[in-house]
Homo-oligomer: A and B are copies of this chain.
Amino acid sequence: MSKFLININGLFFDEDTAKISVFDRGFLYGDSVYEATRTFNRIPFRLDHHLERLMISAHKIDLVPTINEQLIKERIQTTISASPHDNIFLRIILTRGTNSDLGLDPGLACENNLIIISKEIAPNPKWWLERGLSLVFYQKKNSQKGALSKSGNYLENVLANKSAIEQNAYDAIMINNELHATECTSSNIWIVKDGVVYTPPLSDGVLEGLTRKTLIEMAKVKKNYTIIEKSLTRDDILKADEVFISSTTRNLVPVTTIETKKIGNGLPGKLTLQLLESYLEYVRHENQININK
C-alpha cells in the first residue's frame, strides 16, 4: 500500500504518480499558498479556520482563487473519505496555476492548481513528552514585519531547519532583525515564566498557527491560563521556566534544551503538560460537538 494519497485537481494519485507541470507557478516561482492540518478520527481539525487562513494567504499574495472555498472543502472531504486512515496529515497547496509561457506575469496562468497530499499521521514519539526537544536559534536574513502568509517561498525556513539539524537540534527558533524571536520553522514558540504563558505577537513576523489561536481562545474561554502576546528576546527564552512549541500536527511539545542550555530543571514543564492535556480535551470536546451535529 502506498504511504501517501494525493488529490490533484480532483483526481487521485500515489506518491509515484503524483506529478505537476514544470510550468506550474508554484514550481517556477514558489507562487502558491498552503495549509497543513490533520484529522482526529476522520474529522478535520478546524477546517473552516484553515480554509479561511488559506484565503487570507492567497489574498496577501494577490492570488485570486479560481477554485471556490466550497470546492476546496469538498476535495478535502473526498480525500479524507478515500484515505484508509482515521488520523491523517493533510497538506493543501493552492498554486496560481500553470503558465502558458515562461514569465512572471500572473496573467499567464488561468486556473489554479489544487493539490492535497495526505498520509497517516504518526503519534508523537514518546520521548518528546518524557525528555523534551532541543532547539537552537537562527538569525533570519529576510525579516518581514506583520503576520506572515503560508506561501511556497519557504527557503529561509528550510535553511533554518537545516542549520538546526546540523547542530543535532530538533528545530530552530527564528530571530528577526529587531532580535525578537518569531517562531520555529513549522511551529509557534511559547515560554512560561512565573506561571504566565507568553508567545511572540504576530507583528514580530509570525505565522498565526491555528493551535496557537486555539490555545489563546481556550485560555480566554476557560479562564484557566494567562496567555500574553509579547516580544521575546533570546534571553527571555533562555531564562524561561518552561518552553514549548505548538503545531496542528504535533499539538504541544515541551522544549528542554536550547543551544545546549537546559531550560528550567531540564525536564518537560508542568504547566506545559497541563496545557497539553487541557488543549487535547478542548479539541476532543469540539470534535464531539462536530460529530453530534
Binding site for B on A (CB under 8 A): 3, 6, 8, 15, 18-31, 61-62, 89, 91, 93, 101-102, 104-107, 115, 117, 119, 141-144, 151-159, 161-162, 165, 185-186
Residue of B nearest to A156 (CB): B153
Asked whether A153 lies within 8 Å of B185 as measured between CB atoms, the reply is no
- Nearest Cβ in chain B — how far from A29, in angstroms? 4
Q: Which of A29, A93, A143 has the most CB of B within 10 A?
A: A29
Asked whether B28 lies within 8 Å of A154 as measured between CB atoms, the reply is yes
Asked whether A29 lies within 8 Å of B162 as measured between CB atoms, the reply is no
How many copies of this chain does the complex contain?
2
Chain B residues with CB under 8 Å of A24's CB are 27
Give the contacting residue for A22; candidates B62, B115, B165; CB below 8 A.
Answer: B115
Residue of B nearest to A20 (CB): B22
CA distance A89 to B62 in the complex (A): 28
Residue of B nearest to A155 (CB): B153
Chain B residues with CB under 8 Å of A30's CB are 29-30, 152-155
Asked whether A29 lies within 8 Å of B157 as measured between CB atoms, the reply is yes
Given contacts A29-B157, A61-B155, contact A165 B105 (CB under 8 A): yes
Asked whether B155 lies within 8 Å of A152 as measured between CB atoms, the reply is yes
CA distance A121 to B162 in the complex (A): 39
Chain B residues with CB under 8 Å of A117's CB are 22-23, 102
- Nearest Cβ in chain B — how far from A89, in angstroms? 7
